[in-house]
Amino acid sequence: MTSTENPENLTGWCPLRVKTQGGTSNNLLTREQFKRWSLVLEAMQIPYRRENGWRGSALLVREEDFERAIKQLETYERENQHWPPSPPPVTTSHGTLLVTLSVIFVLASFHNLTQAQVNLPVIGNPDWYTLGSVHAGKLRQGELWRAITGLTLHSDLQHLAGNSIITLLFIEQLRKRYGSGAAWLLFLLSGFAGNSVNGLLQPWHHQAVGASTAVFGLLGVIAADSLIRYRTALMSRWLVPLAAALALLGFLGTAGEHTDLGAHLWGFACGVLLGLVCAGLWRERLPPSPLTNRLLSVISAVTPLVAWLLALSQQV
């Protein structure tokens, strides 16, 4: 309640000696110990005084309050012996930034190819957007590859640049936790699932292009992984990662005249589900071994190629 640094008139006041977690029984407290214990005494409305020394401060209470103060402080120490909880393991980097930059370079090069009128061997000069866009009606007719090919197409350079920058940020966060191969496979899976669900719900003529469905899928994976990874440290605030991700989705995913809000929302939702599966069920297997990550990288690279081969096979 009241505190004083005056060493006089301390008759009837007793220094507290509470055994802490380390087993010490010294009545001289550090600044942090004094702060914690004095807050406990204030909460219990027990008057106290402070007596400073060169090695620390002593906390004194009245003789009639001594037993009650000891009991309260011992209870506090016992109930908080594991607080704050240990931080989650420090994540180490798996893979390199070079892989991410290489994928973005390939994506940009492909965008330039789709904008140029170039006759290619065997396939000639295909209409990339007609063959590869996420067309809701054709998707429902069984052209499921469009859910992948649509991720590689962009309407213009600004569209490509925006998705590339955000992809770089999110992929790098996930790469440090899961490795490059797993991160890019989750990118494709969340994008495929989000585009597929959105295509089933949109009107027949609805069309969309862009990697943003997968970008927000990554955001969902990161949010779910953080929710599971930091649930002990966050305690009652365990929903904070998900709330932060939703705020970022609202900020980045709803702007623009031609924004496909449905694709962004479903990409995010599918990403959350994938993240919960990975972080909740496969936590002990993450990150995958280097060999497994290389295999996942190969699968991630081959999947868009196979999807485009299927799309190009539809040319008359």
Q: Looking at residue 245, what is its pLDDT?
A: 63
Is residue 110 a part of any domain in this protein? yes
Q: Looking at residue 52, what is its pLDDT?
A: 77
Range of the domain at 149: 97-312
Select the highest-mean-pLDDT range: 20-24, 55-59, 166-170. 166-170
Q: What is the pTM of this model?
A: 0.68
Q: Looking at residue 7, what is its pLDDT?
A: 46
Please report, rounded to a whole number, the percentage of residues in the chain having pLDDT higher than 90.
Answer: 30
Helices (DSSP H) in the chain: which residue ranges? 31-43, 66-79, 97-115, 128-132, 136-140, 146-149, 157-178, 180-201, 212-229, 231-234, 240-252, 261-276, 290-312
pLDDT digits (tens, 9 = 90+) for 120-152: 788 888 889 999 999 999 999 999 999 999 999
- pLDDT over threshold 50, residue 2: no
Is residue 230 a part of any domain in this protein? yes
How many structural domains comprise the chain? 2
Give the CA count within 13 Å in the CB-facing half-sphere of 255.
Answer: 8
Domain holding 268: CATH number? 1.20.1540.10
Q: What are phi and psi of 94, to 5 degrees?
A: -125, 120
Range of lowest pLDDT (3-7, 77-81, 256-260): 3-7
Q: Longest Cα pair distance anywhere in the chain, in angstroms?
A: 102
- Do residues 162 and 278 share a domain? yes
- Do residues 70 and 131 share a domain? no
Rounded to the nearest 10 degrees, what angle do helices 240-252 and 212-229 cross at?
Answer: 160
Q: Looking at residue 3, what is its pLDDT?
A: 44
Is residue 252 a part of any domain in this protein? yes
Cα-based torsion angle of the residue sequence 251, 263, 304, 149 in order, rounded to the nearest 10 degrees = -120
pLDDT digits (tens, 9 = 90+) for 172-207: 888 888 888 999 999 999 999 999 999 999 999 999
- Do residues 233 and 205 share a domain? yes
- Do residues 54 and 167 share a domain? no
Q: Looking at residue 227, what is its pLDDT?
A: 79
Cα 131 vs. chain centroid, distance in angstroms?
34
Domain holding 56: CATH number? 3.30.70.1530
Q: Looking at residue 9, what is its pLDDT?
A: 57
Q: Looking at residue 316, what is its pLDDT?
A: 53
Q: Looking at residue 146, what is its pLDDT?
A: 95
Q: Looking at residue 51, what is its pLDDT?
A: 79
- Do residues 285 and 258 share a domain? yes
